[in-house]
Chain A
Amino acid sequence: MAFSIYDFTSFNQTVDKFLYDNLTPFWALIVEMTIIGLLVLVFYALVGLFLVYAERKVCAFMQNRVGPNRVGPYGIVQTIADLLKLLMKELIYIKNADKLLFNIAPFIVIIASFMAMSAIPFAKGLHAIDFDIGILYVIAVSSLGVVGVLLAGWSSNNKYSLIGAMRSGAQIVSYELSVGLSLLTIIILAGTMQFSAVVAGQENGWFIFKGHIPAFIAFIVFLIASTAETNRGPFDLAEAESELTAGFHTEYSGIKFAFFFLAEYMNMFIVASIAATVFLGGWMPFHVGGWEGFNRIMDFIPPVFWYFGKTAFVIFMMMWFKWTFPRLRIDQLLTLEWKYLLPINLVNILVMAFVVLMGWHF
């Protein structure tokens, strides 16, 4: 059983072979699915907890504070304590709410982010599913979350929630276009929608460097649009604390609130992962052509670290936006998308197609 931190393929194949040798194909599949499901679940919870902690620390340092530092060393157990508190809190059921939709909504939000996460490659051979339409799948699945947000706002029987949900609907549906088109720009360059192939295509240079200016523009647009799509500040109009108290999740309490809370962070993680995978080379190390010694040192750092480093960088950028910018107004938000980002994107795709046709990329 060959286990290497640089390549998980052989390890996976060994486990797969072991299961199929000892079990009937049906049960082997069931066991594999259970293992992967559990791993994704645990990973999901860990990343969620870590991101909450990271955000609290990052925002604290931006605001001249120290952030959580009481529970555990440097406050790292704080988020677990918070989670336990939320688990033990009473779930408040409101009168005249649509009970079924009210209960389903948080699950829809969280399932959407679950499904999106399973397609992301963390290292060579380390992904749950490797579709040939991976990027399309992630875009499709991650936009399902808006259904949950709309249901939450509608079923809460609260006008603040309703306004928040309507804002969120308009926002996510609009910005979905920009996210899709900016990824399409890179798909033209990569020539594939399969995540593993996209990463493999960046072995001799990340797409953000390979694709000249169009790729860079696409990255910026993706960063803006994905921040908006995850409902984070400066685009957090759906929650808009100072206007709508808490927006679509005003009436949620306890663990159901935690679901929305966690889903927000996971969505942030997913879009950061996509940005890292599609634009910044995924788990590929940073290489400079000709510098053999440098490249070998870069290769020595395991791909998982490269992947998480890049994702963390994008996440930090998104936190930076949130804690320094004021919030946009709903009409300005839609103006930004329909009058600026979308036309820029469309032109950008044409430019990229031209660049690829002429073979001007590296």
Chain B
Amino acid sequence: MKEVINLPVKDIEVEEYHINMGPQHPSTHGVLRLVVSLQGEIVKNLKPHCGYIHRGIEKMCEKDTYPQIIHLTDRLDYLSAHINNHAVCLLVEKALEIDVPERVKYLRTILDELNRIASHQLWWCSFGMDMGGLTCFFYGLRDREHILDIFEESFGSRLLHSYYTPGGLMQDVHPNFQKRVKDFIKYFRKKIKDYDDILTGNIIMQERTRGIGLLSKEEAISYGVTGPSGRGSGFSCDVRKHHPYAMYSKVEFNEILLHEGDTFARYMVRMHEMRESMKIIEQLIDNIPAGDYTAKMKAVIKLPAGEYLQRVEAARGEFGVYVVSDGNKTPYRMKFRSPNFSNLSALDHISREGKIADLVAIGGSLDYIIPDIDR
């Protein structure tokens, strides 16, 4: 009798099969290839294959001078271009012990936060699209356009700005800058409610994200998941709070910490962060001091021999720049600590035993940017 019961169970054991998500796939947000092992619809494990757009940026940096390197950092996480630039600028300023004018600090902080909002808007709309709500995509892009217009007016470029230079900024901001930023804040405070109406409050969206892709605080630390993704797991990792730079020590803002560690928590952290960024900008925009837009710099920047590290809080997590200098005008070795690479490493762990649809939602909530992973 026992044998009769046991036999069929062995027979119906399902084989795993693999599908390639990517390099060309709508929800990998770039040329990332995920080899997913599936049992029916259930993800058993997945292997990310990176490197499809590896451009050797770290090696290229070894041939470039520091002002030139800034242009390469734009191309890492292209959605937080200002913040990446900021890291290199801060590193050079720290190494040369230069004091940048107050005006520069104010402007850099405001621009960083605008960049963070723009990045989170793009994340929101692509997350909505991953979930199947196509309308979100247009709402997000509509509002992001306002920020890009502000950028365009001041320094001509919309995506890859390369606006910061070691010691200051490339040029002063447009006279309209203050007014337009204030207008934008007023506008976006109204529009962010739409975001909540169409996606956050939606029952389907909540059902699909709550309790999905659980990442505990310990796991977040061990995988090095930083930024909003890490803070959704309760890992306090905001570089702006722990190692303040620019004006962050003087403005009031909250580090958003949620402890659920699921996809919805990661989503909510970003939604709150957009509001916090607006709060930071509001505190600074009215009292930008007059003054130079750059400190006096030598024509050729040479860093003293030694090792330097600078970390900043990019839109997706901690962005670090590590430089070994031998005293020349080019670095001896340069290494970027990109947030997305570490965040991606957790994807395999947290998407196991979920459905394909969960994998897409989790991927959207980790918000990886492929050029930043491949470098």
Q: Which residues of A contact B (CB under 8 A)?
A: 59, 62-65, 159-160, 163, 167, 233-234, 236-237, 240-245, 323-332
Q: Give Cα A332 to B130, complex, Å.
A: 17
Closest residue on chain B to residue A62 by CB atoms: B135
Q: Is B17 an interface residue (CB 8 A)?
A: yes
Chain B residues within 8 Å of A65, by CB: 138
**Seed contacts A64-B138, A243-B27; 20 additional CB < 8 Å A-B pairs:** A59-B135, A63-B134, A63-B138, A64-B142, A159-B19, A160-B19, A163-B356, A233-B132, A234-B132, A240-B132, A242-B26, A243-B360, A245-B26, A323-B134, A324-B198, A325-B132, A326-B199, A326-B204, A326-B208, A329-B207
Q: CB-nearest residue of chain A relative to B363?
A: A242
Q: Which residue of B lies closest to A160 (CB)?
A: B19
Cβ of A159: which chain B residues have Cβ within 8 Å of it?
A: 17, 19
- Inter-chain CA distance A234–B128, complex, in Å, is 13
- When C-beta atoms are compared, the residue in chain B nearest to A324 turns out to be B135
CA distance A270 to B27 in the complex (A): 32
Residues of A within 8 A of B264 (CB): none
Instruction: Given A160-B19, A325-B202, A328-B204, answer yes or no on A242-B130 (Cβ-Cβ < 8 Å).
Output: yes
Answer whether A243 and B357 are a contact pair too, CB < 8 Å, given A159-B17, A325-B202: yes
| Closest A residue, CB atoms, query B205 | A326
B25 partner residues in chain A, CB cutoff 8 A: 245
A159-B19, A325-B202 as given contacts; A330 in contact with B41, CB under 8 Å: yes
Interface residue? B57 (CB, 8 A): no
B357 touches A326 (CB 8 A): no
Residues of B within 8 A of A332 (CB): 204, 207-208
Q: Which residues of B contact A325 (CB under 8 A)?
A: 132-133, 202, 204
Query: Which residues between 8 and 46 of chain B lie within 8 Å of chain A, taking CB atoms?
Result: 17, 19, 25-27, 41
How many contacting A-B pairs (Cβ < 8 A)?
A: 79
A-B contacts, 15 of them at CB < 8 A, read: A63-B138, A64-B139, A64-B142, A160-B19, A163-B41, A233-B132, A237-B357, A240-B357, A242-B26, A243-B357, A324-B133, A325-B132, A326-B204, A327-B131, A328-B207
Chain B residues, Cβ within 8 Å of A167: 41
Q: In the complex, what distance in Å separates the CA atom of A331 from the CA atom of B207?
A: 11
Residue contact A326 to B41, C-beta cutoff 8 Å = no
Task: Please tell me if B358 contacts chain A, counting CB pairs below 8 Å.
Answer: yes
Q: Are A330 and B17 CB-contacts (below 8 A) given A241-B26, A325-B202?
A: no
**In the complex the two chains form, what is the Cα distance from A242 to B28 in whole Å?**
9
Contacts of B198 in A (CB 8 A): 324
Q: Is B357 a contact partner of A327 (Cβ separation < 8 A)?
A: yes
Q: Kindly list the 5 A-B residue pairs having the minimum CB-CB distance in the complex, ordered from nearest.
A: A327-B132, A63-B138, A326-B131, A326-B133, A242-B27
In the bound assembly, the distance between CA atoms of A65 and B138 in angstroms comes to 8
B121 to chain A, nearest CB (A): 14
Please judge, given known A-B contacts A159-B19, A242-B132, A244-B356, whether A327 and B204 are in contact too, CB under 8 Å.
yes
Given A63-B134, A241-B26, decide whether A234 and B360 contact each other with a Cβ distance below 8 A. no
Chain B nearest CB from A66 CB (Å) reads: 12
B-chain residues with CB within 8 Å of residue A328 when the two chains form the complex = 204, 207-208
Chain B: minimal CB distance from A118 (Å): 33
A189 to B358, CA, bound (A): 43
Is B275 in the interface zone, CB < 8 Å from A?
A: no
Question: A62-B135, A64-B142 are contacts. A326–B355 as well, Cβ < 8 Å?
Answer: no
CB distance B135 to A330 under 8 Å? Answer: no
* B129 within 8 Å of A (CB atoms): yes
Answer whether A329 and B358 are a contact pair too, CB < 8 Å, given A64-B142, A242-B26, A324-B198: yes
Docked CA distance A62–B357 (Å) = 25
A237→B204 CA distance, assembly (Å): 13
Q: Which residue of A lies closest to B197 (CB)?
A: A324
- Measured between beta carbons, the chain B residues less than 8 angstroms from A62 are 135
Quick one: given A63-B138, A242-B129, A243-B27, are A331 and B19 in contact (CB under 8 Å)? no
A265 to chain B, nearest CB (A): 17
- A324–B355 Cα distance when bound, in Å, is 23
Whole-angstrom CA separation of A15 from B61 in the bound complex: 84
**Complex interface: chain B residues within 8 A of A59 (CB):** 134-135
Give the distance to chain A from B344, nearest Cβ to Cβ, in Å.
18
Residue of A nearest to B132 (CB): A327
Cβ–Cβ contact B356 & A243, under 8 A: yes
Binary per-residue interface labels of chain B (139-171) against chain A in the complex, 1 for a CB within 8 Å, 0 otherwise: 100100000000000000000000000000000
Contacts A159-B19, A332-B207 hold; do A326 and B138 have CB atoms under 8 A apart? Answer: no
